[in-house]
């Protein structure tokens, strides 16, 4: 791998995959995504590997800027509405 590869935090990877950062940490622990540890023990992820995974999942178009998540539609509502009528 390129030694100049940008390193991403679990939070940055989570935002790209639209999952919780703890999910990314579990993926790394299970070997689903490679990670390295900083001297302080924090996980970091190589941008090139994250990009390859996103492209493989169809979540990122080839050549698309990884710095901005793409808009795939409206976010789910957690407010009052027909789907949540019994919750409020």
pLDDT tens digits, one per residue of 17-72: 999 999 999 999 998 899 999 999 999 999 999 999 888 865 545 555 545 444 44
- Tell me whether residue 31 is in a domain: yes
Q: Which domain holds residue 12?
A: 7-55
- Tell me whether residue 19 is in a domain: yes
Residue 11 sits in a domain of what CATH number? 1.10.1660.10
Phi-psi region of 79 (alpha: psi -120 to 50; beta: other; left: phi over 0): beta
Q: Total structural domains in the chain?
A: 1
- Tell me whether residue 74 is in a domain: no
Q: What is the pLDDT of residue 19?
A: 93
Closest alpha carbon to 9 in 52, 58, 17, 32: 17
Model-wide pTM > 0.85:
no
- Tell me whether residue 33 is in a domain: yes
One-letter-per-residue 3-state SS of the chain: CCCCCCEECHHHHHHHHCCCHHHHHHHHHCCCCCCEECCCCCEEEEHHHHHHHHHHCCCCCCCCCCCCCCCCCCCCCCCCCHHHHHHC
Q: What is the pLDDT of residue 69?
A: 46
- Tell me whether residue 38 is in a domain: yes
């Amino acid at each position: 791998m390129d030694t100049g590869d940008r390193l991403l935090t679990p939070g940055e990877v989570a935002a790209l995959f639209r999952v919780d950062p703890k999910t990314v940490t579990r993926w790394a622990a299970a070997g689903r995504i490679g990670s390295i540890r900083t001297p302080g023990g924090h996980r970091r992820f190589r941008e090139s590997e994250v990009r390859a995974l996103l492209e493989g999942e169809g979540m990122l178009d080839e050549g698309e800027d990884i710095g901005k998540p793409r808009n795939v539609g409206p976010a789910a509502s957690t407010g009052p509405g027909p789907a949540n009528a019994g919750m409020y």
